[in-house]
């Protein structure tokens, strides 16, 4: 997942937002994140791996249990590890370039686009907490 010499190199994931966030977008994690590194797509939230300070506050605050430390990510959620990074390293629908490391989700605001994985999921029928 790393590539030397690029401006948007992802060195390592720390915390990952999984499928339980899709169509819920609770945002309880955002309020607790001291690094402002949790960005809002259209149907899900994404943690910027380069901006995350690995504190775990988001995981503790998440009311839908959607956030995992990368090493604790269940096998059935494994695809979300790369997916969270793709949100920042690939050009999303309706955008001209990858997000990269914008330096704060609040400053950037709602992105309004998702990765192909999340965008391709059927609508969730899980009720909001």
- End-to-end CA distance of the chain: give it in Å, rounded: 34
CATH class of 15-95: alpha beta
Alpha-carbon span 67 to 15, nearest angstrom: 7
Q: Please state the pTM of the whole predicted model.
A: 0.86
Domain residue spans of the chain = 15-95
Model confidence pLDDT, tens digit, residues 69-128: 999 999 999 999 999 999 999 999 999 999 999 999 999 999 999 999 999 999 976 554
Q: Which residue from 97, 103, 107, 121 is spatially nearest to 42, judged by alpha carbons?
A: 121
- What DSSP string describes 58-97? HHHH-TT--EEEGGG--GGGTHHHHHHHHHHHSPPTT-SS
> Given this model, what pLDDT does residue 3 score?
38
What are the φ and ψ backbone dihedral angles of 60, each rounded to 5 degrees? -65, -35
Structure tokens at 46: 């994404």
The residue ranking higher by pLDDT, 43 or 2, is 43
């Amino acid at each position: 997942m790393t590539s030397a010499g690029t401006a948007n190199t992802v060195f390592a994931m720390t915390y990952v937002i999984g499928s339980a966030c899709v169509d819920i977008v609770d945002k309880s994690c955002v309020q607790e994140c001291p690094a402002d590194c949790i960005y809002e797509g259209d149907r899900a939230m994404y943690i910027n791996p380069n901006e995350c300070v690995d504190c775990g506050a988001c995981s503790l605050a998440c009311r839908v249990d959607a956030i995992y430390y990368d090493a604790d990510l269940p096998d059935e959620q494994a695809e979300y590890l790369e997916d969270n990074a793709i949100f920042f390293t690939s050009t999303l629908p309706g955008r001209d370039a990858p997000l990269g490391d914008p330096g704060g989700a609040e400053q950037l605001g709602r992105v309004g686009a998702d990765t192909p994985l999340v965008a391709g999921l059927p609508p969730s029928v899980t009720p909001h907490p």
